[in-house]
Amino acid sequence: MTINTLAKGGCHREQMACFRKMEKVIVAMQDPDMGMKMRNQRLLITVIPHAMTGHDIITWLTHKYRISEEEALHLGNMLVKYGYIYPLKEPRCLVLRPDESPYRFQTPYFWTSTRWPASELDYAIYLAKKNIRKQGELMEYEKERYSLLHKRINHTWDFVVMQAREQLRASKQRRKADRIVLECQEQAYWLINRPPPGVNNVLDTGLERPNNFSCRVTLNSDYYKREIEACRKALGRNRVKSSICLEGFLKYSEQYLNHDPIMQGCLPSNPWISDDTAHWTMNAEIVPVPTRLRVERWSFSFMELLNDAMGRREFMTYLEKEFSAENLYFWQACEDIRHGENSKIVEKVEDVYKNFLAPGAARWVNIDSKTMDKTLEGIKRPHRFVMDDAQMHIYFLMKKDSYPRYLKSDLYKNMLAKAIVPQETKKSVFPFMRRQRHSSPSPAQTATQAAEEEGLAKGAGANSAAGSHF
């Protein structure tokens, strides 16, 4: 009993598109009028029909698809490589020769298929059959694989032997020519699906696995309409030039350099190194006195301020002084709707409408008429993002108006002054107990930075040259 790869109701594998196309070519070759010219293969006394020369194949491909000979050779090669046509003279050499070497078509059961991958059980049965036929004279790699399979599917090995014997007996019922053909077919199939060592496995697509999105696409008007819509949307998307993008990235890095614990070290000490959690307790959500770095960050962008719980609280206090606190309340309520539970959305939207948007509401927010109309329309069918436009409007209002004034205000400046700069923990006397506060300097930081670091970091005078040793 092998693991059932054809999961019931599971993923339905599709035949790869390239194989379907190759199958079409093969079927086209069978056309009685326009198809391939067939010859007979003559073995000592048996004559087997339906053989063709490599030259014929190339000529046919050239005529049918109106391509150059080189391309036809390449296409024919693919057909041989993937097992739709197999060579008769040198079966192990899967190459199309543009001369008189004979080839033959493979039967549909043995076509390469991603839908029906060759299973270990089948391979074991094939090897057992070959073993019987050749009286044990398998090739080296086949012997190895045989013993490996014997170990792997040992539980069903009796079946393998039984089935191998029966299949041979069944094939004996046919006439000699057909038996020869059958053997050649099977051999060709297994040369492709279980290639000998050293030969490329054509079914292995490697890292660049081809996408097989649209398996069967009918090129009708619907399809083209969808394509046009997709392209239109793609055109409408905002694209930023990489020069601008990288400039922004550079500015961000410069701005945040001093705030990065890895680049600048963290005060009082890095908890991971010194096992002292002071850094975390000092930078908790709500503290009586925030650190200086934190307060500085509020001035970097409005989002920074809003994302920090303490910052938001401070900002709220300021807005209340300015009598425009309803904006922030509204924004918070909208955030709650966006990120909150699905079941409570309707209720929350109702509340927001009652408190902020209804005429004569307690905390009426000032939104322009167009947005207001749109929002009121949307409220009739509330969903998670119904307040987005209004929220965006209020956000930009606060950002452009209240936020700069807040940064200039006394409230902020006092906060900044009050903010603490934690003391660096004292280094112990013994040198080998000292913990390096900084991580080893990055390669990007050259001599210029090193000097700055020395001045900034170690008051007590530890060697910055000394590597981190602990």
Partner 1 sequence: MGKEECKTMLDALNKVTACYRHLVIALGSTSDSQNLREELKKTRKKAQELAVANRTKLTSLLKDKTISKEDRAEYERLWVLFSSCMELLEVDMKRSLEIAQEFPLKVPTRHLIQTGMTGSTTTVAARAMSVQNMKYEADSNIDTADLRDLQAEITQVSQMMEEMEMKVQVAPWAVEAKQEAGAELKSNMSVGNSSVGVISICEEEPKEEEGGGGSREAGFASICAVIGFFVIVIVALVLGYLVVNM
- Bridge-based pairing of strands 85-87 and 39-42 is unpaired
Rounded CA gap, 27 and 186, in Å?
20
Q: Does 43 bind partner 1 (CB under 8 A)?
A: yes
Least separation, in Å, of the C-beta of 133 and partner 1?
5
Q: Are 375 and 387 in contact (CB under 8 A)?
A: yes
The site for partner 1, by CB under 8 A, has a size of 77
Least separation, in Å, of the C-beta of 123 and partner 1?
13
Q: Does 107 bind partner 1 (CB under 8 A)?
A: yes
Identified binder of partner 1 from the candidate list 13, 17, 18, 46, rule CB under 8 A = 46
Residue 280: how many CB atoms within 10 A of its CB?
A: 10
Which amino acid appears at position 378 of this protein?
A: G
Task: Give the residue with the Cβ less far from partner 1, 28 or 282.
Answer: 28
Task: Give the residue with the Cβ less far from partner 1, 106 or 112.
Answer: 106
Q: Where are the alpha helices (DSSP H) in 238-344?
A: 242-256, 261-264, 271-274, 278-282, 292-298, 302-307, 309-322, 325-339
- Bridge-based pairing of strands 39-42 and 102-105 is unpaired
Among residues 374, 379, 381, 377, which one has the least CA distance to residue 355? Answer: 379
Task: Give the residue with the Cβ less far from partner 1, 18 or 138.
Answer: 138
Q: Does 181 bind partner 1 (CB under 8 A)?
A: yes
Candidate ranges 32-40, 275-283, 353-361, 364-372; the one touching partner 1 (CB under 8 A) = 32-40
Candidate ranges 57-65, 106-114, 216-224, 420-428; the one touching partner 1 (CB under 8 A) = 106-114
Task: Give the residue with the Cβ less far from partner 1, 147 or 439.
Answer: 147
Identified binder of partner 1 from the candidate list 59, 64, 78, 183, rule CB under 8 A = 183
Q: Give the bridge partners for 103, in sequence order.
A: 52, 87
Would you state the structure tokens that stand for residue 240, as one six-digit string? 């930023």
Rounded CA gap, 214 and 222, in Å?
14
Per-residue binding letters, 150-179, with partner 1 (x by CB under 8 A) = x---xxxxxx-xxxxxxxxxxxxxxxxxxx
Candidate ranges 26-34, 204-212, 306-314, 331-339; the one touching partner 1 (CB under 8 A) = 26-34
Strand ranges for 179-300 from DSSP E? none
Identified binder of partner 1 from the candidate list 57, 72, 80, 128, rule CB under 8 A = 128
Among residues 18, 193, 17, which one has the least CA distance to residue 110? Answer: 193
Q: Does 17 bind partner 1 (CB under 8 A)?
A: no
Task: Give the residue with the Cβ less far from partner 1, 151 or 232.
Answer: 151
Q: Are 367 and 378 in contact (CB under 8 A)?
A: no
Q: Which of residues 256-275 bind partner 1 (CB under 8 A)?
A: none
Rounded CA gap, 385 and 337, in Å?
8
Least separation, in Å, of the C-beta of 282 and partner 1?
58
Q: Does 362 bind partner 1 (CB under 8 A)?
A: no
Rounded CA gap, 340 and 387, in Å?
13
Task: Give the residue with the Cβ less far from partner 1, 22 or 398.
Answer: 22
Task: Give the residue with the Cβ less far from partner 1, 7 or 303.
Answer: 7
Q: Does 131 bind partner 1 (CB under 8 A)?
A: yes
Task: Give the residue with the Cβ less far from partner 1, 99 or 158.
Answer: 158
Residue 397: how many CB atoms within 10 A of its CB?
A: 18
Q: Does 38 bind partner 1 (CB under 8 A)?
A: yes
Rounded CA gap, 86 and 96, in Å?
9
Task: Give the residue with the Cβ less far from partner 1, 146 or 364.
Answer: 146
Least separation, in Å, of the C-beta of 4 and partner 1?
7
Candidate ranges 127-135, 293-301, 343-351, 380-388; the one touching partner 1 (CB under 8 A) = 127-135
Rounded CA gap, 391 and 317, in Å?
20
Identified binder of partner 1 from the candidate list 17, 18, 26, 325, rule CB under 8 A = 26
Q: Is 407 exposed, middle or buried (0-12, 13-18, 19+ CB in 10 A)?
A: middle
Give the helix/strand (H/E) hosting 85: strand 85-87
Task: Give the residue with the Cβ less far from partner 1, 89 or 418.
Answer: 89
Task: Give the residue with the Cβ less far from partner 1, 167 or 464.
Answer: 167
Least separation, in Å, of the C-beta of 30 and partner 1?
4
Rounded CA gap, 76 and 97, in Å?
9
Q: Does 10 bind partner 1 (CB under 8 A)?
A: no
Q: Coil, helix or strand for 12?
A: coil
